[in-house]
Amino acid sequence: MYATRAIIRLDYFEHNLQQVKSLIPAKTKVCVPVKANAYGHGSVQIAQKAIQCGADFLAVATVHEGVELRNAHITAPILCFIPPLPDEIPLLFEYNLTPFVGDKNFLNLLVKHDEHARHAHHTQLDIHLKIDTGMARGGFSYTEAPEYALFITQQHNLRLTGVATHFACADSKNPTDIAYTQQQIERFNSSIKSIRQAGITDLIVHAANSGATILHPQTHFDMVRTGLMLYGYSDKTLLDSSPSPISLKPVMQLQSKIISIRELKKGEYVSYGATWKAPADTRIATIPIGYADGLPRALSNNFSVSIRGKAYPLVGRICMDQCLIDIKQDNPIECFDDVLIMAGDAPFDANDIAQKCNTIAYEITCSMSKRIIRIYS
């Protein structure tokens, strides 16, 4: 048994995937980003579920994340977003991982590897050309991308199968951000047009992350790369402007159990810094989860959890491995009771927690550490 655990609702993941599919044409492919341990949900399990539910592509950040999926016998196409180090390049070939290529240095190294590989195992590597249209993080500039596309098609052991870009502001309805996205779309379209004019066809064109999938249908192209939505989150204002109404369900539900209860007299203090003083005689419960598990310390004295269907405040500073709840008196709460911390029947989900901590839901689910066991249901 584990007191603290993350219940991963694969049925909710499937529900969210159906919601994404309801926004896009039937022929449009879905790529499921499972980078960063599938946003904290468990990359292998989410990848398996995604493929079982009809996802076409998976995506990871690093080569090593891709290798982990292949070692788990996942055979679907896997995109690698981040350029590898030179000594990691053989892994791309060996494990059949499809890199985003948007960097001259990386492309030259791939071509060099190509020269060795021609004698060695004759493998041809699928690659997707990454075009920078305004994010400035990776990708050939949209003006130069067509030349690179042509260059790639001339390399014997590289096969250009896709072209992609990534949006900087697609999850915002702010007019300046909408205009920025529109400019990125125009740049991408002009680059794609030149690539096609150069006679390069049969490409999977893709651009949309979750925000763009909801707000900018003209970015769906041949495939969408929705991450956050599939894990059950989105800005509420975006969902309101979705062309067809959709509902998302948080996939990760965080739970713990009370492992100790003590009486506290009025005027006594709790936890580091003695930041909370009991306003009346009360009872304090300890649960074994702290900031080392990914419960942000910034939630100290500013959070509540649910026990037996009622909300109780977290009091005092959150410690590395534990935190404290004011469970009051005159109720049947006892040691080993379940405590709902995030999503499901808890008062707060990752979006709410993120708001309290001045960050985004992505950071909250990604930060759930290895110590929290994931239970799939």
Ligand X SMILES: *Cc1c(COP(=O)(O)O)cnc(C)c1O
What count of Cα atoms within 13 Å lies in the side-chain half-sphere of residue 233? Answer: 26
Helices (H) and strands (E) counted in the chain, each on its own, are 12, 20
Strands 282-287 and 260-264: antiparallel
For residues 130 and 12, give the distance between their C-alpha atoms in angstroms, rounded to a whole number.
31
Q: Is 165 in the site for ligand X (CB under 6 A)?
A: no
Q: Which one, 131 or 340, has the nearer CB to ligand X?
A: 131
Phi, psi for residue 247 in degrees, rounded to 5: -125, 140
Q: Is 83 in the site for ligand X (CB under 6 A)?
A: no
The minimum distance between CB 138 and ligand X, in angstroms, equals 8
Window of 110-118, 174-182, 224-232, 368-376 that interacts with ligand X by CB under 6 A? 224-232
The total of other beta-carbon atoms located within 10 Å of residue 157's CB is: 18
The minimum distance between CB 225 and ligand X, in angstroms, equals 4
Q: Is 207 in the site for ligand X (CB under 6 A)?
A: no
Catalytic residue list contains 272: yes
Catalytic residue list contains 104: no
Between CA 136 and CA 143, with CA 138 as vertex, the angle to 5 degrees is 70
Position among 48, 157, 209, 304 found at the interface with ligand X (CB under 6 A): 209
Q: Is 219 in the site for ligand X (CB under 6 A)?
A: no
Q: Which one, 211 or 316, has the nearer CB to ligand X?
A: 211
Position among 12, 81, 140, 303 found at the interface with ligand X (CB under 6 A): 81
Q: Is 233 in the site for ligand X (CB under 6 A)?
A: no
The minimum distance between CB 166 and ligand X, in angstroms, equals 4
- Catalytic hit among 2, 193, 266, 272: 272
- Catalytic hit among 29, 35, 49, 257: 35
Phi, psi for residue 53 in degrees, rounded to 5: -90, 10
Tell me the residue nearest to ligand X as measured from the CB: 227
Q: Is 29 in the site for ligand X (CB under 6 A)?
A: no
Q: Is 290 in the site for ligand X (CB under 6 A)?
A: no
Q: Is 4 in the site for ligand X (CB under 6 A)?
A: no
Q: Which residues pair with residue 83 across a beta bridge?
A: none
Q: Are 165 and 131 in contact (CB under 8 A)?
A: yes
Q: Is 99 in the site for ligand X (CB under 6 A)?
A: no
Q: Is 184 in the site for ligand X (CB under 6 A)?
A: no
For residues 269 and 303, give the distance between their C-alpha atoms in angstroms, rounded to a whole number.
18
Number of residues that bind ligand X (CB under 6 A): 9
Helix (H) or strand (E) run with residue 31 in it: strand 29-33
Q: Is 271 in the site for ligand X (CB under 6 A)?
A: no
The minimum distance between CB 10 and ligand X, in angstroms, equals 18
Q: Is 216 in the site for ligand X (CB under 6 A)?
A: no
Q: Is 236 helix (H, G, I), strand (E, B) or coil?
A: helix
CA distances from 295 to 46, 176, 273 (A): 22, 34, 18
Q: Are 102 and 74 in contact (CB under 8 A)?
A: no
Q: Which two tokens mark 121? A: 């195992």
CA distances from 113 to 6, 117, 122 (A): 42, 6, 11
Window of 85-93, 176-184, 220-228, 274-282 that interacts with ligand X by CB under 6 A? 220-228
Active site (catalytic) residues: 35, 272
The residue ranges that bind ligand X (CB under 6 A) are 33, 81, 166, 209-210, 225-228
